[in-house]
Structure 1
């Protein structure tokens, strides 16, 4: 019987998986730097929490129009090349920001317009990425490969904002340039990720085929509970959009400190992901998922109240570790419960929910910060996340009682 060590060694020797993971490092680092630069640039221009929220809203709204189409494309096209095309377009967006920054023509509308562009692209990239990973490894290695992919993601989330904060010392244009270069490198690598690809039979594109993923999830209380849990927990509990305010007005640490604040959740996620890549959760997965979400909410409440920078970093790291348990359990359940012919469309719906929790959550943070103040917004959102975890344990019994991933 294969041991944990044998499974990890098998993963590390898988060439296509390694190419996929390296490409993820480059792409996520680029995206983190790009969004860090846009958010700081916006706040530097307008000093408005409302405008920070609008950046998130402008990324979310176009995703509503493109997400289901993106899922259909992911089930019909070569997924690696589809992701490569998305990254090439993001490089174009970064290049436009380089030019407008160099010519001193960046405005609030420029940043919001490019946020719209990035929001329209993201569903295609995420649907392709999520549906691609199960094609690269056998099912018995999926949970560990998901954890390894999460480790890679968190390394990038740590490195991207931290490097972006350092590059700010040179200029914001340098941040945009580095992001564009990394997007191009990642696009090339994704284009050459190899897996057994057989073009599916041609069928007409209809409302029925586009909505198939949504119907599939709606018919499964387990999948519906897992996906909607992330939507509402992060929608209310996310504090990312307000980190520039914390860095500038509450903790007084500037753009370099902002980079560390953005990286802190990823540091906690990295530690937990490394552990789970070697020791996957094998029992009580539903209960552990809900507990992890509750811990996430508590840590956000404490972060909202903190005024000491090191404690704030630690609390954000705890939130990242708890969120990683949630991500790995949810994503593995979704992949294992979905047939390959549907993975792109199910991934697209999952992307829509993730986008709502992140981008719409940023807008919610901006609105609630305007009404309750920055600290009040974060604290109330954290409490709401704890209540959501308790409610989901009652509303979605198949999820709460799920014992094993398989």
Structure 2
């Protein structure tokens, strides 16, 4: 069995550490910038505008981001994004210390960081196969998922602690972390050849969509994840569950929010040690069905231990699906197309996350909180069953391509 220490020979741990630092920095900024903005204005509406200012760059720049990831050295693209993010955090630190910070400055900084993330994330995803090679990619993706979950768990808490020393200090630490991440990316070595400089045209910009549409395995994997995320947005309703159904306090809400990440982190570490080797298509569908069933259990639960267990199971099932989907998409895609395909994937999954929260809120308003979550879980199960019939090639995938 190939062990994670084999990844050390590829320089993967520089990639893993860079992803932890970058994702963690973004999580810290999200906490600090939100607290600071609310402290300045006291308006909840401004927090909604803050989210919108980060979402719009993703919507507008995803397609050119994928093209740039396939046209230029991906390490340089990632480093450039991290340098701009570091400079933005340093600017926020300076503005906070000098008292020149304002809502307009915060919105502009949030939009700039959102734009950088739009370029950085699909480029990092496209870079990974060239760092580790096809044989180690499933393990690398599992560990990469653990990096994201580690940052998601530790980042917000770290942001809260840093804010005690003042927003200027918090932003200063973020700038240093982004700078360190860029140095780690600088040390990466990749087997990928320099990408060809295709002429820029509408066809090349949109070629990621055409590639996905022509590959049933890739299309099925991406669309299944997108629809499952759209329907399974139960976590958006956690404050209602904590207060009205489970009758717990802020600490209980924090435990509920952390539970999916705990399940995802522990499962990603297991998958890094014991990669899935056979019947991966069927296992992905099973994981999505199990995610839907766990969502139903959570929706019906009135017990905190059962609710926590269901959320842990949801996180575990989600990461199994994500690792299989990501591996299939990356290995089915030629290196020259990985940036554009990863960008399209990011756009669909990111948009479905936002719309999933909206869908959960609207359904809860129409039918009630518990029916909304249960309906979402049932819908996820039905979609998984339908997709297994609509995309038989995906269901029949036995081993990972290239293994």
Does 2:304 align with 1:301?
A: no
1:8 matched to which residue of 2?
A: 4
Does 2:37 align with 1:34?
A: no
Residue of 180, 184, 188 corresponding to 2:183: 188
> Deviation at 1:359?
3.0
1:200 matched to which residue of 2?
A: 195
1:333 matched to which residue of 2?
A: 328
Does 2:83 align with 1:88?
A: yes
Does 2:123 align with 1:135?
A: no
> Deviation at 1:94?
4.2
> Deviation at 1:155?
2.2
> Deviation at 1:202?
3.0
Q: Which runs of 5+ in 2 are unaligned?
A: none
1:24-80: CA deviation from partner (whole Å, max 9, x where unpaired): 1111222223334556778884457xx777655554333222111111111111212
Q: How far, CA to CA, are the matches of 2:248 and 2:90 in structure 1?
A: 31
Residue of 368, 386, 397 corresponding to 1:402: 397
CA contact (8 A) 2:57 2:114 kept: yes
Residue of 259, 264, 268 corresponding to 2:263: 268
CA contact (8 A) 1:304 1:379 kept: yes
SS of the counterpart of 1:140? coil
Residue of 380, 385, 391 corresponding to 1:390: 385
Provide the TM-score with structure 1 as the length reference.
Answer: 0.84
CA contact (8 A) 1:30 1:183 kept: yes
Deviates more, 1:193-202 or 1:90-99: 90-99
Q: Which runs of 5+ in 1 are unaligned?
A: none
1:281 matched to which residue of 2?
A: 276
Mark the CA change 1:362 to 1:95 in structure 2 (over 3 Å): closer, same or farther.
farther
Residue of 79, 103, 107 corresponding to 2:74: 79
Mark the CA change 1:122 to 1:179 in structure 2 (over 3 Å): closer, same or farther.
same
1:360 matched to which residue of 2?
A: 355
CA contact (8 A) 1:34 1:179 kept: yes
CA contact (8 A) 2:222 2:345 kept: yes
Q: How far, CA to CA, are the matches of 2:29 and 2:213 in structure 1?
A: 35
Q: How far, CA to CA, are the matches of 1:352 and 1:56 in structure 2?
A: 16
Give the number of equivalent residue pairs: 397
Q: Which residues in structure 2 correspond to 1:243-262 (within 5 Å)?
A: 243=238, 252-254=248-250, 259-262=254-257
CA contact (8 A) 2:131 2:188 kept: no
Q: How far, CA to CA, are the matches of 2:78 and 2:145 in structure 1?
A: 18
Q: How far, CA to CA, are the matches of 2:28 and 2:240 in structure 1?
A: 18
Q: How far, CA to CA, are the matches of 2:90 and 2:114 in structure 1?
A: 17
CA contact (8 A) 2:263 2:312 kept: yes
Mark the CA change 1:236 to 1:91 in structure 2 (over 3 Å): closer, same or farther.
farther
Residue of 12, 15, 34 corresponding to 1:17: 12
Q: How far, CA to CA, are the matches of 1:167 and 1:240 in structure 2?
A: 26
CA contact (8 A) 1:162 1:259 kept: no
Q: Which residues in structure 2 correspond to 1:136-215 (within 5 Å)?
A: 136-167=131-162, 176-196=171-191, 198-215=193-210
CA contact (8 A) 2:221 2:325 kept: yes
> Deviation at 1:308?
4.9
Mark the CA change 1:168 to 1:200 in structure 2 (over 3 Å): closer, same or farther.
closer
Deviates more, 1:27-36 or 1:158-167: 158-167
Does 2:310 align with 1:322?
A: no
Mark the CA change 1:158 to 1:227 in structure 2 (over 3 Å): closer, same or farther.
same
How large is the Cα RMSD of the aligned pairs? 3.3
Deviates more, 1:384-393 or 1:170-179: 170-179
Q: Which residues in structure 2 correspond to 1:230-241 (within 5 Å)?
A: 230-241=225-236
CA contact (8 A) 1:264 1:313 kept: yes
Q: How far, CA to CA, are the matches of 2:294 and 2:92 in structure 1?
A: 35
